[in-house]
């Protein structure tokens, strides 16, 4: 099998320079990339840069190398077309099927997955014209990832930033790997908790756990790559925001509960991948707890935290909502897992066997996914994204 063929469309926004990094990541990871900029994009980054980084000739119009019929061939032979940045103008043209340059021709001839990473000012993104164009493209099966929130050109801040190129690359990689052209989570809103809660004792100390957040972030990334609207409730995870994902940061179990309950009414699926502390210190010392000469320390009294998973499973915020829990077990995985699934009342429970070097902080994972319907899906040792995709397959099957 040859290298996967990717068309990188670049339209005329200041974020065009970030597409150079995306291009580099794609080529270095074994993709063959043809860059197709618009004329406006070439005002920001010139053709020699794209040609040198991709190793292919670069043109924005249909009149060069006509014997090769590039306006048809490039799109036809692609395994993925990604447009980053996608301006409001480009989205409008794509939504209406205009074909006045090489990129818009390519979009009409592509039969592979098409991914748009929009970048523009907040007002342009929020304009009903743009929103309707985005909805049209999504309805037709294109993957349009939500812009990030942050600093825009000039002094403005808001929604409209191009997500980190490394994270756009991750979405591209997922889409090429899966090879599906119909995002099966399109139109669905999924809420995922990730990381580990920290329960403060005093201003400088907390009770925490070793969850890195990687499994929850992998769930968010794969859901976004499958077309979902994703809300990620991140508890103390120090990982980059996945592209197209709305990240809300929380600290404690109580804060996570509030965030989950707030997001739940709009969620088609809730996945509790966070390691939630079962207990918190009964009191919080407003000042740092000091050691006292000659005296033993006071014991730390703990109280129970609310069980968020049990609560959202017992009272579904929406009919048909799918709830997924995670369980970390050190032994007797199947028996403990089945008992926990029944106790929590969720639809699926992902059971991990954990130990000193297993799961926490690692890139790989092995699990058994138990269904309330009695099903058992073993997931062999592999990347956390593979487990995430299995979870979404099982969730999609339960949407009916
Ligand atoms: N969880 C939760 N709220 C809590 C504790 C856990 O929502 N206060 C969720 C976790 O996000 C995870 C699942 O419950 O999805 C399993 O958590 P775990 O701590 O393993 O289960 P416990 O019920 O605490 O069982 P045990 O302590 O006996 O292992």
Calpha distance 89→226 (Å, rounded)? 25
- Nearest alpha carbon, ligand 1 atom 9: 309
Q: pLDDT by residue (tens digit) across 54-96?
A: 999 999 888 788 787 777 888 899 999 999 999 999 999 999 9
Q: pLDDT by residue (tens digit) across 135-192?
A: 999 999 999 999 999 888 787 889 999 999 999 999 999 999 887 667 899 999 999 9
- Ligand 1 neighbourhood includes 278 CB (under 6 angstroms): yes
Considering 105, 133, 209, 365, which one is annotated as catalytic?
Answer: 209
Q: pLDDT by residue (tens digit) across 323-357?
A: 999 998 888 888 999 999 999 999 999 998 876 55
Task: Say which CATH topology domain 189-398 has.
Answer: Rossmann fold (3.40.50)
- Ligand 1 neighbourhood includes 352 CB (under 6 angstroms): no
Per-residue pLDDT, averaged over 193-198, amounts to 98
CA angle (130, 134, 137) in 5-degree steps: 140
Task: Say which CATH topology domain 5-178 has.
Answer: Rossmann fold (3.40.50)
- 133, containing H or E segment: helix 128-139
Residue 115 contacts residue 175 (beta carbons within 8 Å): yes
Please indicate whether the domains covering 5-178 and 189-398 agree at the CATH topology level: yes
> Domain spans of the chain?
5-178, 189-398
Residue 35 contacts residue 8 (beta carbons within 8 Å): yes
Is the whole-model pTM more than 0.85? yes
Q: How far is the CA of 340 from the centre of ligand 1 (A)?
A: 9
352 in active site: no
- Nearest alpha carbon, ligand 1 atom 18: 327
């Amino acid at each position: 099998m040859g290298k996967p063929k990717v068309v990188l469309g670049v339209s005329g926004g200041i974020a065009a320079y970030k597409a150079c990094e995306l291009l580099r990541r794609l080529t270095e990871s074994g993709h063959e990339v043809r860059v197709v900029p618009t004329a406006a994009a070439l005002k920001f980054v010139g053709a020699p840069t794209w040609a040198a980084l991709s190793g292919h000739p670069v043109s924005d119009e249909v009149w060069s190398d006509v014997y090769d019929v590039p306006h048809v061939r490039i799109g036809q032979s692609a395994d993925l077309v990604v447009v980053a940045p996608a301006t409001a103008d480009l989205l409008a043209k794509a939504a209406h099927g205009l074909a006045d340059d090489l990129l818009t021709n390519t979009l009409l001839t592509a039969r592979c997955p098409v991914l748009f990473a929009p970048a523009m000012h907040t007002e342009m993104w929020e304009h009903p014209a743009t929103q309707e164009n985005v909805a049209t493209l999504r309805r037709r099966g294109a993957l349009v990832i939500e812009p990030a929130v942050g600093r825009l050109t000039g002094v403005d801040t808001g929604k409209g930033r191009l997500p980190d190129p490394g994270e756009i690359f991750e979405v591209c990689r997922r889409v090429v790997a899966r090879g599906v052209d119909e995002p099966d989570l399109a139109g669905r809103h999924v809420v995922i908790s990730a990381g580990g809660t920290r329960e403060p004792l005093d201003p400088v100390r907390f009770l925490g756990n070793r969850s890195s957040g990687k499994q929850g972030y992998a769930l968010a990334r794969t859901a976004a790559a499958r077309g979902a609207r994703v809300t990620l409730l991140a508890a103390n995870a120090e990982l980059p925001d996945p592209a197209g994902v709305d990240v809300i940061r929380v600290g404690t179990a109580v804060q996570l509960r509030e965030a989950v309950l707030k997001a739940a009414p709009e969620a088609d699926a809730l996945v509790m991948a966070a390691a939630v502390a079962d207990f918190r210190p009964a009191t919080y010392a407003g000042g740092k707890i000091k050691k006292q000469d000659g005296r033993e320390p006071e014991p730390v009294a703990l109280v129970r935290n609310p069980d968020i998973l049990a609560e959202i499973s017992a009272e579904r915020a929406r009919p048909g909502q799918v709830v997924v829990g995670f369980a970390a077990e050190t032994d007797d995985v199947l028996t403990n897992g089945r008992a926990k699934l029944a106790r929590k009342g969720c639809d699926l429970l992902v059971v991990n066997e954990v130990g000193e070097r297993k799961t926490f902080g690692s890139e790989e994972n092995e699990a058994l996914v138990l269904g309330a319907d009695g099903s058992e899906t073993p997931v062999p040792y592999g990347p956390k994204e593979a487990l995430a995709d299995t979870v979404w397959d099982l969730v999609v099957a339960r949407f009916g």
